[in-house]
Amino acid sequence: MKMKVGQRLFTAREERKLTQAEMADLLNVSPSTYARIERNETSLEIDTIANIAKTLQIPIQEFLPDTISVSNSSHQNNQNAQGLVLGNIYNYNYSDKDLESEMKVKDKEIEFLKEKISLLETTITDLRNTLAVLQKEK
């Protein structure tokens, strides 16, 4: 990821015809820090990369490896969720209201599954009793 960030910053700076010092000022970092970032000599937190992308008005995806993407669209039943996709793993950022709603749905699913387990346990017990009776009749 470092390589892509440094390369993209260099390209953005060249496109804007800015010096490293001017770019550092734009991003609110020291010129030496900016130079290290551009040379891929330092690691950046994802929120720093997001801030850089926002400041330069460049999609954050351009700074990330191809196996990582940012999603604002819904996936499966997750509506209004923003998230980060790592490979095929979706990590969504929900609001408290979304989480509360999702928790209610999951709680209902859990209750349904508990009832189903109970019913299956009863069926197993009945089948064992039937088997015991049949074995005694032999």
Residue-range domain boundaries for the chain = 2-93, 95-138
Percentage of the chain beyond pLDDT 90 is 30
Buried b (16+ CB within 10 A) or exposed e, 71-86: beeeeeebeebebbbe
Which tokens sit at 82? 């923003």
CATH 1.10.260.40 fits 2-93, yes or no: yes
Q: pTM for the full model?
A: 0.47
Average confidence (pLDDT) over 74-95: 50
For 17-36, how does the pLDDT look when each residue is reduced to its tens digit (9 = 90+)? Answer: 989 999 899 888 899 998 99
In angstroms, the CA 87 to CA 90 distance is 8
For 88-115, how does the pLDDT look when each residue is reduced to its tens digit (9 = 90+)? Answer: 444 455 567 777 888 888 889 999 999 9
